[in-house]
Structure 1
Amino acid sequence: MIGLELASVVFVRNYVQLDFDGPRLTCFVWPTVEIGGAARSLGDSGYRDALCAFISQTVTSVDEAVGTGLVLRFALGAVTIDPTPDEVEGPEIAMLAGFPDEAWDLWRPGENIFADMG
């Protein structure tokens, strides 16, 4: 994902999709958005605007670790997927798909970087 530019943010009822002109990260839990040191979560004033502010921004790094979840970093700030157990409503936390080589990834509670949610 490093080097990809966020092309659109699609809000769909109870989840959000981050589209990178092909590859798409579907977040089945609402990510936290950090810009200029200020973090916003779903329900906070300006949350959707902050998430959309990343459109046209390029992913500069991706961090994955137990205890911090999945973090996409941009020059502007970061988008973090690290839900609490009560925020997970289904069997998946996020899915990344849409690459030309058909590669994909799926994150679930209790597995890999979310092993601490098991």
Structure 2
Amino acid sequence: MAYELNFLLTRLVGFRLYSVQFVLDYVQLRFDGPTDDMPVLTCDVLPTVKLSGQRFSPTEAGWTDALRGLISQIVTATHEETGIGVAVDFVTGSIELHPAESELVGPEIATLNGFVDHSWMTWRPGEDAFKDL
């Protein structure tokens, strides 16, 4: 069965970002919402954050504050497309994953799991939405 872009990611729509965990060299975004699912988006490559019209990269001052500023917001849309990568939209901002090749730190870009039905997705360079890497 072929993987349909944005199929699993779109399940985040309607969920609330309730936690951002900064781990040594990655970030985990935890969601809760209208079902028993407790999705976790683990970003092995640190995402870019857009908040209130400003863009913050992980190397810029204010990036952690911008990411924390999305806590308690509801996911309004998701995007997954080659050339764009993966994006999760909120009312006042978004989290975007489309690293440059120089930003790749391992074999994986991100993983989404935590669904009751055990569905999960791992994004890697050269595959799916990241065919351009």
1:51 and 2:67 are equivalent in the alignment: yes
User: Could you say which residue in structure 1 is the equivalent of 2:5?
Assistant: none
The gaps in structure 2 that reach 5 residues or longer are 1-11, 33-37
User: Could you say which residue in structure 2 is the equivalent of 1:9?
Assistant: 20
Letter in 2 for 1:37: G
TM-score (norm 1): 0.96
1:19 and 2:30 are equivalent in the alignment: yes
Instruction: Give the Cα–Cα distance (whole angstroms) in 2 for the partners of residues 101 and 61 of structure 1.
Output: 21
User: Could you say which residue in structure 2 is the equivalent of 1:113?
Assistant: 129
Q: Deviations over 1:57-114 (max 9, x none)?
A: 0000001111111010000111100000111111100000011111101100000100
Instruction: Give the Cα–Cα distance (whole angstroms) in 1 for the partners of residues 65 and 54 of structure 2.
Output: 13
The counterpart of 2:78, out of the listed 62, 66, 72, is: 62
Instruction: Give the Cα–Cα distance (whole angstroms) in 2 for the partners of residues 29 and 103 of structure 1.
Output: 21
The gaps in structure 1 that reach 5 residues or longer are none
1:34 and 2:50 are equivalent in the alignment: yes
Letter in 2 for 1:14: D
User: Could you say which residue in structure 2 is the equivalent of 1:85?
Assistant: 101
In percent, how many aligned pairs have the same letter? 47
User: Could you say which residue in structure 1 is the equivalent of 2:35?
Assistant: none
Instruction: Give the Cα–Cα distance (whole angstroms) in 2 for the partners of residues 54 and 8 of structure 1.
Output: 9
SS across alignment from 1:86:
helix
Q: Residue 31 of structure 1: CA displacement?
A: 0.3
Q: Residue 45 of structure 1: CA displacement?
A: 1.2
RMSD: 0.7
SS across alignment from 1:7:
strand
Instruction: Give the Cα–Cα distance (whole angstroms) in 1 for the partners of residues 61 and 78 of structure 2.
Output: 26
How many residues of Structure 1 are paired with residues of Structure 2 in the alignment? 117
Instruction: Give the Cα–Cα distance (whole angstroms) in 2 for the partners of residues 35 and 11 of structure 1.
Output: 18
SS across alignment from 2:16:
coil
